[in-house]
Structure 1
Amino acid sequence: MRLHRLEVAAFGPYRSRQVVDFDALGADGLFLLHGDTGAGKTTLLDAVAFALFGTVPGARGQVKRLRCDLADPEEPTEVVLELTVQGQRLRIVRSPEYQRPKRRGEGTTTQQAKAVLTWIGVPPAGQPAEGLTRIDEVGRTVQRLLGMSADQFFQVVLLPQGEFARFLRADTDEREKLLERLFGTKRFADVEAWFRERRAEQRRELDQQRQELREWTARFAQVAGAEVPEEDLAGWVARTGERIRATVERAREDEQRARAARESADELLAERLSAAERVRRVREAHQRLAVLAEQEDERTRWADELAAARRAATVVAVAAQADRCATQLDEARLAEERKAQALAATGFVNAEVDTAELRKLSGQLSEEAGALAGLVAEAEQQVRDQRDIERFAETAADARARVEVLGEKLAGIPERARDLRERLEVAIDAEAKLGEVRKREADLVAAVADAERLPAARRALDDAEGAAREAIDRHQEARERFLELRRWRLDGMAAELAARLTAGSPCPVCGSSDHPAPAIAAPEAVSPEQEHAAEEAEARAERRRKAAEAARHDAETKLAALRERLRGRDGAQLGEELSALRKEIAGLNALAEQRAPLAKQVQATETEQRELDEKRAAELQRATAAETQRQALTERVAERARRLDEARGEHPDVGARRAHLTGIVRALDALAEARAATASAAGQLERQRVEVREALHRAGFETVAEMRAAARDEMTIRDLEQRLAEAGAAEAAARATLNEPELSGVGPDDEVDVESAKAAARSARERAEAAFAVLRSANAQADALGTLAERLTAATERLRPLEEEFAELDALTDVVNGRGQNARKMSLRSYVLAARLEEVALAATARLQTMSQGRYSFVHSDAAGSHGTRGGLGLDVLDDFSGTIRPAKTLSGGESFLASLALALGLADVVAAETGGSLLDTLFVDEGFGTLDSETLDVVMNILDELRAGGRVVGLVSHVEELRQRIPTRLRVRKSRTGSSLELQMA
């Protein structure tokens, strides 16, 4: 991956559009990005990350505030990046989501995020020539081309401030989290989880099988009536089965003997019961014949009564019909009399005419009443119309009254609506001003805080300057002391060499083996140890001096920044401005809070006015319509009243006259019908009396009274017939019984002993039933135990392979998850991460040895941690000077930076190879160089030169002054109140 061009607009501190030409900037393979603290150096790296992935690294990505606060409202926030990935050049334009002022009206609106990817040249196969415009498609395409995720890119391309120093000193858990993000070990975690879930499933299945075996064993023991042994379950089941089978055989033999005894007793009882039944039948036959002989006279009387009743039955119906005809004639005559009285009540005086004349008069009056039917309907309509006239008058009056009331309500609404709209406009203006004023308040609050920190910053600067002066003095003293000791040692070097001379050995200076006058050490002679101690003291003083100077520079920077933000204002002035501004905010806020209720009141008032206008217009229309309908209906009613007065005659109205005529017609018709019914009933009665006399003669009766005395009802007749039939049948049955062959020789006085046979049979039956119950219980127990034994055996056979399989899975799951027989206590995922970390350590060691001049090497440890914690992710350093392995936390600041940088570069190489071997042509290193001395900085620069020689472009982000002298190509970030800007500098 190689970057070519970057454009940022309204992004971070960059108010206007800024362009970075990486082709020109990285022409030498190494460039420096420098500037004041907070100017926006790291923001350019954020812009690269945002263009590629839509997010920025570290904690800055959690804030999600990327738009420049000083940007012009019309200036869009966007990042444009041109790069080449896998031989394909492309251009990405991406904008974040942010709030911008509305183009129409007040307030702000949300500008949605967008992303556009355009291919420069021929697009890859399967990609549209016009490029991509969906955010998700752009993200997937970039990640596929780079072969790494956003987290991996932030770690291997944009080496962030402090990240790898923290990774170097991190504990196992923190280091594991970073490695998981970089190397994507989720599939191994899934394998661990799969083993755990599989073991849990098999444990549940095994528990179910064991529970099932326990249940079958308990049921077997319950049915067998025995306790479950602790051992030899199969032998116990077999012995129990043999015992139950022997019990069944004994019960079967007892049941057979009891059944035979019961059958013998039942045969004896049957013989005696048959003999007793024959004696009983003979006795009952003799008893029935004796009773029938005593009832002979009574049966004769029953037969005579039944014969007379049967003859009278032929006349009863005819006589009853004659009685009904007489009753009907009396009723017809009474009805005729009532109808005549009803006709007289109508005022009709000629009621003595015959039936034909009555029907003629009825027809005439009916025609007259029919002619009045139409006028009756008009009379009814007349009544309804008069009521409608009154109703229309009431409606018109009510509508006019409502119009007056609605007019009074409308009188004050327009003025109230204007007042509410004016107050609403004031509230809207206050709300619009509130945002700007709150921003001013935030600036003032920050300024007050700065004013409060100003004295502390001055004191810190004074302290830092004093400490720097003291450190400089101490360093000068230590340096002078070191130079003085070195001079003294050089002066006494002859004595030091003479002290090493031995007789016969050549002099290391002149080569002579004779030493006639060796030099003698002076009292003030300096030993090498003293010189070395002074040198180390001078080095320590120099480091303290540099630290003090850096602290002084930091204090100066902070104080200058505070003074620049305060612009000469003190805390009292800022407090007064803040107090006044907060009073203004309170007033504006009070007005702004009224916007929503005022808007609702305005809307409600306008709605009320519109509704009242509509109601008033509707009431006016209703009053006009009611008055018009009343006038038209009044004219129709007057014209109809003249016709009805002529038709009613002497009656109150036409309906009354028609009702009178209709009543006379009904009375005439009723009287005519009554007279016809009377004549018909008289004729029917005479015919029925003749038929009664003929029926009496045929039945042998002289009078109706004689016939009625002999007559019986149906129930009595059936009773007589039944008693005669039953007596005859009883006599015939008794004689037939005595004539049966099997009763020959049986007398009514014979006796048979049945009770002793019943007792014997009952006793034998009870013994047989008890023996059968014992046999059935034994068979049921044997069957149940046989079934349970089969199921118990099957459950045992199913359990055995499950236990073996679970034991194997349980041990394997513990090993995969870093427990059990896993001596290193490393899970599968940790093992893979440990292998990756070992590769990183090997790759980083090559650079660390060069940077540390062969002193330090990374050592990967897969040993388990203390207190049984998992291992595999330990990372220490080997110090070749002492030959010991040291924790990374013991390294100094500069040494930690060297180790962190080496680790970052090694990790970049490993991740690049892991993600497909894609060549990372552009690399950024953010800060950390200020902790290095000049000699170590030379070594680090040599390493970066090696990267540049390999074809990479390396960008350094730092404010260290010495790097400006070493790196000819620089991109300077200038900071101002109106926004940061970029300047390309070439030596």
Structure 2
Amino acid sequence: MRLHRLEVAAFGPYRGREVVDFDALGSDGLFLLHGDTGAGKTTLLDAVAFALFGVVPGARGEVKRLRCDFADPAEPTEVSLELTVQGQRMRLVRSPEYRRPKLRGEGSTLQQARASLTWLGGAPAGEPPEGLVRIDEVGRTVQRLLGMNAEQFFQVVLLPQGEFARFLRADTDEREKLLERLFGTRRFAEVERWFRELRADRRRELDRHRQDLRELLARFAQVAGEEAPEEEHDAWVAGVGERAVLAVAEAEAGQEAAKAALEEARRLLAERQNLAERVRRVRNARGRLETLEAHRGERVRQREEVDAARKAATVASAAAQAEGSATGLQQARKAEQVRVRALAAVGFPETGLGVPELRLRAGELREQAGVLATLVEEAEQQRRDRRTLTRLAETGGEARSRMQVLGDKLNGIPDRIRELRARLDEATAAAARLDGLREREAELAAAVRDAEGLPAAERAVTTARERLAIADQRHADARQHRLDLREQRLNGMAAELAAELADGRACPVCGSAEHPAPARPSAGSVDRAQETAAEEAEARAERARKAAETARHEAETALAALRERLRGRTGEELGAELTALRAELTSLSALAERKPRLAAEAESAAAEVDALTDELRAAEQAAAAAEAEHGALAKKVAERAQRLDEARGEHADVGAHREHLLRLVRALEDLAEARVALAAAAGQHAQREAELAAALDRAGFASAEEMRAAARPEEAVTRLEKSLAEAATAEAAARAVLAEEELAGIGPDDRVDVASAEAAARLAQERAESAVATLRNLTRRAGELRSLAERLAEAGAALRPREEEFAELDALTDVVNGRGQNARKMSLRSYVLAARLEEVAVAATARLRVMSQGRYSFVHSDAAGARGTRGGLGLDVLDDYSGTVRPAKTLSGGESFLASLSLALGLADVVAAETGGALLDTLFVDEGFGTLDAETLDVVMDTLDELRAGGRVVGLVSHVEELRQRIPTRLRVRKARTGSTLEVRL
């Protein structure tokens, strides 16, 4: 990241528009923001932060009051920043939310926050060429390009006043919070939480299994009737089972003995009961005969009663018919009186007319009703016409109302058509944006896949580097082995040449033909073949090294290409951006999907105008036709009403008059029929009375009353006959019993002792049932104990591996969360942060030793704190002068600034490497130089000069006058009465 140009307007202490050209300031790589205390130096850094992220660092960001109090009301508060990130040059323009005076009237109004991003030199792939104007889109794009969020940027680019002095002296908790913000260890906290939740789930599951085992054991103890011991459950369960089996065997023997005793008692009881039964039968037979003899007179009377009832039954039919004829005569008389009253009720009092006169009068009235029948149809038509008049009036009114409603609808449709067309335009615009967003979605999805493949690519690079290191080492070893062999061969070259000497042949070295003492090969000498084999091995190792180097280059190239495509974006950021884009796609798709429906609705609305116009015209015609028809029909109804009024007489209408005449006809005819029926009923009654007298004479009854006294219901006669038959049968049965051979010699006064035998049998029965119940209970108990013992064994066998597994998980969870066997009391998250802090300490020590001239270095401690508190984030200072490790709080003011600056620079390097962010070409250091002496300031300036290596620009913010002499390129910030101004000196 490199800054080019900053413009501020009505921002902080700057009431006008001021410009800072960072390209000119940073041409030498180092520049100074110089000015008095409170002149607004840090405000320029706030402006950079606000342009990038919309917030300012530290406590100033909590106030959210960025507009200059002295600014002109017409001057907008605005920050513009031009910068280059990952080769993309852009301009960021932001305005905060603030209140400004109203353009009209008094008072103020709220000016909303704004942001825009404009690409200078062409937009990158996947970005809209016109730039971005939404605050959230601008923020996401800046964070993606920088590869870090606002918190990380403030710590690694804008090294703030006093922040790292506080970090240096902070306790473990405060230091942990900052490191968490910078390194994003949330996933490790999620791992810790996952382990805790898994342990809680497994503990609940284990407790449930233990509770099941306890319940089974309690159930076993309940069935056994014993108290379960605290320990040695298996032995106790086995002993209880054995005792239950012995108890069942004893119960079986007791049951057999009780069964034999019961059979003997039952045999004796049966003998005595048989004898007692024979005595009882003799007694019963004697008793029945005596009882029958005592009631013999009663049976004679019952026989006479049955005979009289049978005679009365022959007369009962004639008596019933006589009574029926009398009842019919009485009913005919009542019916005749009812018809007389009915005739009087319709206005024709009965005057003693006979049947012929009644029928003659009915015929005359029927003729009159026939004359009125022709007018009834006209009366009905009159009613229909009047209903038609009412309907025509309603139709005319409805048509008029319909005309009003249709007119109102026609008036409201144009507004609806305009609204539908506006919504249709929105849907059309949404459909037009879909293609671009879908392409962007595909790119983001590909980027998410790249992010998912980044760890594998990094592992591939690591593996390739490791293989290259191994190949390098093997090549070096092969080369060294070849050199060693060559050296050994050279050392033994004399012996190799001597082996070729022959007497009389000149020596190739000295030329002598005599060889008095030729060299001899020593142990371990090397020949040409061995050296050649070593050379071939070296060549193979070199080829392997080159192949590994090629593989490493390919892996690094693939990783660089992957990172270049990702442009510093993490998988989480890409996933979030993809999720947001897909949500927008869903919204736009839903809006675009409504386009056909909205187009159809717009066309339907236009068609509805035509249809409503046609309906309005039809309603007008219907109203006119209904009114015309109503007038013609009303005249015809009036003419017909006069004729009908004359025909109805005193009645409501003609139909009512005709109906009255017909009722009179029916009443006269009914009375005539009733009088004919009365005469017939009287003749039939006289005939039935004569038939009854003849039947009484034949049966021997003097009168009907005597016959009725002798009559009995058929059920009573049957009952008496049955009683007589049963008495005869009982007498015969009793005499047959006394004649049986087995009852010979048995008298009714004999006595048999059955009670004692029954008592003995009951006692034997109770003992046998008790033995059976005891055996059944003991068998059931033994079965339950056996089943429970098996379930206990299964539950115990299933519980043991769960307990072992939970114990392992419990210990591992404690270790992950910094407890238990974790001697350093470091959680997984603290362990990761400790590793990062250790990297920071190493990076910071390199600068601190330079700036402190070799005296101080950082020491990272992962030891647990006092009283068992967690450790891992300790940071002390090693003083080489005394050789002791000192707490950072013991450093002086100047030493604290050196340590804080070193720590800040080290942390900036580690965070930049950790986040994979864009190259940080610009760095600001805010204040703290006033605590340094001249010599130390020289060392610090030398260190800052090193930061400029590779084109990095370092900006210092200070009011120290001496820095003005050391740094030729500076930006002078001066105080003014109504606001600060800028003075640029190059």
Match of 1:240 in 2: 240
Q: How does 1:24-423 map onto structure 2 within 5 Å? A: 24-68=24-68, 78-98=78-98, 113=113, 115-120=115-120, 127=127, 135-333=135-333, 336=336, 340=340, 346=347, 351-353=352-354, 354=356, 355-360=358-363, 362-363=365-366
CA spacing shift, 1:908–1:337, aligned 2, 3 Å:
closer
Q: 1:698 Cα deviation (Å)? A: 7.4
Q: 1:673 Cα deviation (Å)? A: 4.6
CA deviation profile, 1:963-984 (whole Å, cap 9, x unmatched): 3333333334466677655443
Secondary structure of the corresponding residue to residue 32 of structure 1: strand
Q: 1:66 Cα deviation (Å)? A: 4.0
How far apart, in 1, do the equivalents of 2:694 and 2:109 lie? 121
CA spacing shift, 1:111–1:263, aligned 2, 3 Å:
farther
Match of 1:476 in 2: none
Secondary structure of the corresponding residue to residue 752 of structure 2: coil
TM-score (norm 1): 0.65
CA deviation profile, 1:268-298 (whole Å, cap 9, x unmatched): 2223323333443343334334433444454
**Which range moves more in the overlay, 914-923 or 58-67?**
58-67
Root mean square deviation, CA, Å: 4.4
Q: 1:905 Cα deviation (Å)? A: 0.6
Q: 1:265 Cα deviation (Å)? A: 1.2
Contact map agreement 1:285 1:735 (CA 8 A) in 2: yes
Match of 1:875 in 2: 875
Q: 1:743 Cα deviation (Å)? A: 5.9
Q: 1:758 Cα deviation (Å)? A: 0.8
Contact map agreement 2:45 2:158 (CA 8 A) in 1: yes
CA spacing shift, 1:803–1:651, aligned 2, 3 Å:
closer
CA spacing shift, 1:297–1:370, aligned 2, 3 Å:
farther
Contact map agreement 1:369 1:662 (CA 8 A) in 2: no
Match of 1:794 in 2: 794
Q: How does 1:561-640 map onto structure 2 within 5 Å? A: none
Contact map agreement 1:343 1:351 (CA 8 A) in 2: no
The one-letter code of the counterpart of 1:784 is: E
CA deviation profile, 1:837-880 (whole Å, cap 9, x unmatched): 22212211222222223333222233333333333222222333
Match of 2:837 in 1: 837
How far apart, in 2, do the equivalents of 1:253 and 1:236 lie? 27
Percent identity between the two aligned chains: 71
**Which range moves more in the overlay, 775-784 or 973-982?**
973-982
Secondary structure of the corresponding residue to residue 951 of structure 2: coil
CA deviation profile, 1:422-481 (whole Å, cap 9, x unmatched): xxxxxxxxxxxxxxxxxxxxxxxxxxxxxxxxxxxxxxxxxxxxxxxxxxxxxxxxxxxx
Secondary structure of the corresponding residue to residue 823 of structure 1: coil
CA spacing shift, 1:57–1:700, aligned 2, 3 Å:
farther
CA deviation profile, 1:870-903 (whole Å, cap 9, x unmatched): 3322222233344443322222222222221111
CA spacing shift, 1:739–1:960, aligned 2, 3 Å:
farther
CA spacing shift, 1:257–1:645, aligned 2, 3 Å:
closer
Paired residues in the alignment total 733
CA spacing shift, 1:349–1:772, aligned 2, 3 Å:
closer
CA spacing shift, 1:734–1:941, aligned 2, 3 Å:
same
Secondary structure of the corresponding residue to residue 831 of structure 1: helix
**Which range moves more in the overlay, 682-691 or 43-52?**
682-691
Secondary structure of the corresponding residue to residue 58 of structure 2: coil
CA deviation profile, 1:210-242 (whole Å, cap 9, x unmatched): 444444334433433444445533333333332
Q: How does 1:434-445 map onto structure 2 within 5 Å? A: none
Q: 1:149 Cα deviation (Å)? A: 2.6
The runs of 5 or more residues in structure 2 that have no matched partner are 384-634
The one-letter code of the counterpart of 2:875 is: L
CA spacing shift, 1:658–1:37, aligned 2, 3 Å:
farther
Q: How does 1:960-975 map onto structure 2 within 5 Å? A: 960-973=960-973
Residue 903 (str. 1) matches residue 907 (str. 2):
no
Match of 1:928 in 2: 928
Match of 1:711 in 2: 711
Match of 1:518 in 2: none
Q: 1:954 Cα deviation (Å)? A: 1.1
**Which range moves more in the overlay, 687-696 or 806-815?**
687-696
Q: 1:761 Cα deviation (Å)? A: 0.7
How far apart, in 2, do the equivalents of 1:958 and 1:855 lie? 26
How far apart, in 2, do the equivalents of 1:917 and 1:648 lie? 111
Contact map agreement 2:375 2:644 (CA 8 A) in 1: no
**Which range moves more in the overlay, 683-692 or 95-104?**
95-104
Contact map agreement 2:876 2:888 (CA 8 A) in 1: yes
CA deviation profile, 1:544-597 (whole Å, cap 9, x unmatched): xxxxxxxxxxxxxxxxxxxxxxxxxxxxxxxxxxxxxxxxxxxxxxxxxxxxxx
How far apart, in 2, do the equivalents of 1:739 and 1:118 lie? 137
Q: 1:343 Cα deviation (Å)? A: 5.8
Q: 1:202 Cα deviation (Å)? A: 3.8
CA spacing shift, 1:108–1:253, aligned 2, 3 Å:
farther
Q: 1:156 Cα deviation (Å)? A: 0.6
Q: 1:904 Cα deviation (Å)? A: 0.6
The one-letter code of the counterpart of 1:720 is: L
CA spacing shift, 1:244–1:963, aligned 2, 3 Å:
same
Contact map agreement 2:359 2:669 (CA 8 A) in 1: no
Secondary structure of the corresponding residue to residue 193 of structure 1: helix
Contact map agreement 1:369 1:661 (CA 8 A) in 2: no
How far apart, in 1, do the equivalents of 2:92 and 2:697 lie? 135
How far apart, in 1, do the equivalents of 2:344 and 2:213 lie? 109
Contact map agreement 2:365 2:661 (CA 8 A) in 1: no
How far apart, in 2, do the equivalents of 1:255 and 1:656 lie? 101
Q: 1:140 Cα deviation (Å)? A: 3.8
The runs of 5 or more residues in structure 1 that have no matched partner are 381-634
Contact map agreement 2:929 2:960 (CA 8 A) in 1: yes
How far apart, in 1, do the equivalents of 2:980 and 2:333 lie? 132
Secondary structure of the corresponding residue to residue 263 of structure 2: helix
Q: 1:69 Cα deviation (Å)? A: 5.4
CA deviation profile, 1:183-225 (whole Å, cap 9, x unmatched): 2222333333333334434444444444444443344334334
CA spacing shift, 1:60–1:284, aligned 2, 3 Å:
same
Match of 2:849 in 1: 849
Contact map agreement 1:223 1:785 (CA 8 A) in 2: yes
CA spacing shift, 1:751–1:132, aligned 2, 3 Å:
farther
How far apart, in 2, do the equivalents of 1:845 and 1:375 lie? 124
How far apart, in 2, do the equivalents of 1:778 and 1:645 lie? 107
CA spacing shift, 1:274–1:983, aligned 2, 3 Å:
farther
Secondary structure of the corresponding residue to residue 954 of structure 1: strand
How far apart, in 1, do the equivalents of 2:238 and 2:127 lie? 77
How far apart, in 2, do the equivalents of 1:336 and 1:208 lie? 95
The one-letter code of the counterpart of 1:46 is: D
CA deviation profile, 1:694-733 (whole Å, cap 9, x unmatched): 7657767675445333322344334323323433443455
Secondary structure of the corresponding residue to residue 758 of structure 1: helix
The one-letter code of the counterpart of 2:707 is: M
Secondary structure of the corresponding residue to residue 878 of structure 1: strand
Contact map agreement 2:974 2:983 (CA 8 A) in 1: yes
How far apart, in 2, do the equivalents of 1:241 and 1:736 lie? 66
CA deviation profile, 1:916-956 (whole Å, cap 9, x unmatched): 26421111112222333333333222221111133211122
Match of 1:574 in 2: none
How far apart, in 1, do the equivalents of 2:287 and 2:661 lie? 87
Secondary structure of the corresponding residue to residue 911 of structure 1: helix
Match of 2:809 in 1: 809
Q: 1:136 Cα deviation (Å)? A: 4.3
Match of 1:824 in 2: 824
Match of 2:507 in 1: none
TM-score (norm 2): 0.65
The one-letter code of the counterpart of 2:53 is: F
CA spacing shift, 1:257–1:349, aligned 2, 3 Å:
closer
How far apart, in 2, do the equivalents of 1:973 and 1:320 lie? 142
How far apart, in 2, do the equivalents of 1:379 and 1:320 lie? 61
CA spacing shift, 1:114–1:751, aligned 2, 3 Å:
farther
The one-letter code of the counterpart of 1:363 is: R
How far apart, in 2, do the equivalents of 1:77 and 1:324 lie? 123
How far apart, in 1, do the equivalents of 2:226 and 2:828 lie? 51
